[in-house]
Structure 1
Amino acid sequence: MPASALDLLSGDAQTFVTKVWASRAHLHRADPERLVALLSLDDVDALLTSSAIRTPSVRLAQDGAVLPESSYTRGATLAGRPLTGLVDPRKVLALFEGGATVVLQGLHRYWEPITRLVAELELELGHPCQANAYLTPPGAQGFAVHSDSHDVFVLQTAGSKQWEVHGPDGVEDALLEPGASMYLPTGTPHAARAQETVSLHVTLGINQLTWRGLVQRSLASLVAAVPDEHLPAGYLEDPAALADELDRRLEALAAEVRGLDASAAVEAEVRRFLTTRSPRLPGGLRDVLAVGDLADDTRLRRRPGHPCVVLPRGDRVEVLLGDRSIDMPAWLRPALDELRARRELTPGDLLDLDPQSRLVLCRRLVREGLLEVVS
């Protein structure tokens, strides 16, 4: 993986800020091997034909219509209990050969290269992200012109696809081949058709956190504290009296709004985001088995896509790890700052701690998933 997820998608962070979020489509070409490594045709083949993948992780569409699940799924039993929605590879392959597009939904939840990319991208952007993939047979089109309610990165990993992108200045065509990525702002109408060969592309959806949402969350407790009393009887005949009372209540609320601590509200927003991500622990089994043998010279590495944000709490600190937070004594802050600043280290590098304390800290952070053992 490149040092920055944005390097793969848009060239660099500055390009992303100045061009990508300037409300227009943006094309970028990267090393094709980097994109193919995210999801190849062989990877999709294995998921569809050699795994127990189930709906809603897979859906099929053809000529603008979503096909019923019953046309490509089957039932089975496991330990005597029924399983439903299992993808039937024979049915899927037959429909694909007949022109249907296969959609792999929620790839960030079960395909490790995408999981890692999405985790890194979420930390760089500060917005929740998701990923789907679209396998389209030669010459076919799965969906008619449509728009999405979130920003989209398109990553072409196999074959080619002709995109029809609608903008304020008309319709533009873009041919995406392996190594190409394209950004589409929220609400951009678009459609795409595979060319002479099969097409495979991944879409990364950016579910934007907005100023409106932040303001609403910051004011939620104040609004919730307003008494949920009935409006007084007779206000239809005397609306001026109701307006006077509403003015009084709004003035009181405005005074409370002016007293809000913006820094505290932002800290709460950071904490909310960095304690609600999905757990991502590739290699966790190996780490649990190795943690008992940790020594001063054991090489450790920050797990990619995992934050380590330290918030002061008096004589304690709260450490945000992405999917949750942990509580630690404040005297560990210098060691935690050292961990935050370095990509790799050994317990022996934590010179502020005695040998036993630094091993205890590192063992815990390996178990918590922040650190991984370098084999």
Structure 2
Amino acid sequence: MSALDLLSGDAQTFIGKVWASRVHLHRTDPADPRGLVGLLSLDDADHLLTACAIRAPSVRMAKDGAVLPESAYTRGATLAGKQLTGLVDARKALALFDDGATVVFQGLHRYWPPLTRLVAELELELGHPCQANAYLTPPGSQGFAVHSDSHDVFVFQTAGSKQWEVHGPDGPEEVLLEPGISMYLPTGTPHAARAQDTVSLHVTLGINQLTWRGLVERTVAPLLREVGDEHLPAGYLEDPAALAGPLAERLERLATALRGADPGAAVEAEVRRFLTSRPPRLDGGLRDVLAHAELTQATRLRRRPGHPCVLLDRGERLEVLLGDRSMSVPAWVRPALEEVRARAELTPADLPLDAQSNLVLCRRLVREGLLEVR
């Protein structure tokens, strides 16, 4: 199941279309360990807050619409003689929580593996940067007043329930989220939420949209840099016409350059820019480093979830974009790489090269992080 299918029930509802609905709800089985509820439990939140030396700003706290100062729930310490600041003081944080404050886990996609994988897969499906936060709210409490976000949001409940007030063109709508239910909110949708009779834990996935304007600006920027940076001539305030001719010449040169711009090259640059800006996804990498030399034709391998593999023809060579890095291989390897791209799991023997080439390629892909040993 794709990340979008898990969140929305139908990836095609979202990919390539305008996300116009104010409220889109999707229900999953709360008892399914592979579903939404298993991504972050109350026990997981407890562990993060009290047992793993988490630091601000990975945690912040809010109560009745106000963000609490970090000094109210953090402390200092030393490690190897160096000062550490911003460590969450579990006793202070729990006391504030007991008094009605919401605990916000920020940037969970950076340090909580289940959400790291989900966000990585979602980014590949959407082509937009994504992030994950979680909100742990005491019974009957509200962390934030009505507000809107500058990005699209998927929200899903993993424990307890929360009453959402979602504002649309026809006024506010009440939505109750319970474990296993996800909700999609487009950019700018005003909303607020309050926990009900039990503690509430929900996750928000923010989608930071890349836009056509941004792509056009990045495509045009190199051409604009070709325009000379000389000063405007003195006296143009009294004789504005003195600028008209030179400006027309520069605009015409820019228009000619724009007409000659290569859309394919611009798109390739955009794909490379996006992929290389994402952090490496290498959970389990130590095991793979130790195991790659022992691969056999029958070793079970799996495509690492959320790891990109984009193939770019370079004549007799093939460039393979792998997120934070790329590799160059002979063009005749393409059929094997297409097979890797098409399968969730495989063995070296499944690839259409000779036995030795299959092993060499798979060992390289394990070292590079695209494949992992099952």
TM-score calculated relative to the size of structure 2:
0.96
Q: Distance in 1 between matches of 2:173 and 2:17?
A: 17
2:90 counterpart residue number: 89
Q: Percent identity?
A: 79
2:51 aligned with 1:50, yes or no? Answer: yes
- Displacement of 1:4 after TM fit? 0.8
Q: Which moved more, 1:215-224 or 1:236-245?
A: 236-245
Partner residue in 2 for 1:26: 24
Match of 1:212 in 2: 213
1:12 has 2:5 as partner: no
Distance 1:109 1:291, change over 3 A: same
Shift of 1:18: 9.0
- Structure-1 residue corresponding to 2:134: 133
Kindly provide the CA deviation profile for residues 234-281 of structure 1, in whole angstroms up to 9, marking residues without a partner as x: 111111221222122111101110111111111111111122211111
Deviates more, 1:97-106 or 1:259-268: 259-268
Structure 1 counterpart of 2:356 = 356
* 127-136 vs 4-13, which moves further: 4-13
Partner residue in 2 for 1:295 = 296
1:102 corresponds to which residue? Answer: 103
Instruction: Provide the secondary structure at the position in 1 that maps to 2:36.
Output: helix
TM-aligned CA distance change 1:130 to 1:356, over 3 Å: same
Q: Determine helix, strand or coil for the equivalent of 1:237.
A: coil
Aligned match of 1:180: 181
Residues 317 and 328 of structure 1 are in contact (CA less than 8 Å); yes or no, is this contact kept in structure 2? yes
- Deviation of 1:7 (Å): 1.3
1:52 offset after TM fit, Å? 1.0
Partner Cα distance (2:355, 2:23) in 1: 54
- The residue identity in structure 2 corresponding to 1:198 is V
Distance 2:298 2:311 in 1: 25
2:39 paired with 1:68? no
Say whether the 8 Å CA contact 2:313–2:319 is kept in structure 1. yes
Separation in 1, partners of 2:183, 2:18: 9
The separation in 2 between residues aligned to 1:312 and 1:18, in whole angstroms, is 26
What secondary structure is seen at the aligned counterpart in 2 of 1:290? helix
Separation in 1, partners of 2:75, 2:154 = 33
**In structure 1, C-alpha distance between the alignment counterparts of 2:300 and 2:152, rounded to whole Å:** 39
Distance 2:324 2:348 in 1: 24
Code of the residue aligned with 2:363 in structure 1: it is: R
Q: Deviations over 1:107-154 (max 9, x none)?
A: 000001100100110111111000000000011110111111100011
Q: Where does 1:223-302 land on structure 2 (aligned, <5 Å)?
A: 223-302=224-303
Q: What's the CA shift for 1:331?
A: 2.5
Report the 3-state secondary structure (helix = DSSP H, G, I; strand = E; otherwise coil) of the residue aligned with 1:32: coil
Contact preservation (8 Å) 2:335, 2:352? no
- For residue 369 of structure 2, what is the aligned residue in structure 1? 369
Alpha carbons 1:318, 1:327 under 8 Å: kept: yes
Task: State whether residues 149 and 187 of structure 1, in contact with CA within 8 Å, keep that contact through their aligned partners in structure 2.
Answer: yes
Give the letter for the 1:98 counterpart. D
1:59–1:102 Cα contact (<8 Å) kept: yes
Match of 1:345 in 2: 346
CA displacement, residues 1-28 of structure 1 (integer Å, 9 cap, x when unaligned)? xx11111111111333598701522111
Distance 1:20 1:131, change over 3 A: farther
What is the alpha-carbon distance in structure 2 between the residues aligned to residue 347 and residue 221 of structure 1? 43
The 3-state SS of whatever aligns with 2:85 is strand
The gaps in structure 2 that reach 5 residues or longer are: none
Find the aligned partners of 2:18 and 2:168 in 1 and give their Cα distance. Answer: 14
What is the letter of the counterpart of residue 25 of structure 1? V
CA distance in 2, matches of 1:16, 1:161: 25
Q: What one-letter code is carried by the residue in structure 2 that aligns with 1:120?
A: E
Kept after mapping to 2: 8 A contact 1:276/1:324: no
Q: What is the distance in 1 between the residues matched to 2:116 and 2:270? A: 23
- 1:148 maps to 2:186: no
- Provide the secondary structure at the position in 2 that maps to 1:348: helix
- Asked if the contact 1:20–1:183 (Cα under 8 Å) also holds between the matched residues in 2, the reply is no
Q: Residue 82 of structure 2 aligns to which amino acid in structure 1?
A: R
3-state SS, counterpart of residue 186 of structure 1: coil
Indicate how the Cα distance of structure 1 residues 20 and 40 shifts in structure 2: closer, same or farther if over 3 A, else same. farther
Q: What do the CA deviations read for 1:16-62 (whole angstroms, capped 9, x no partner)?
A: 35987015221111122312101000000011111111111000000
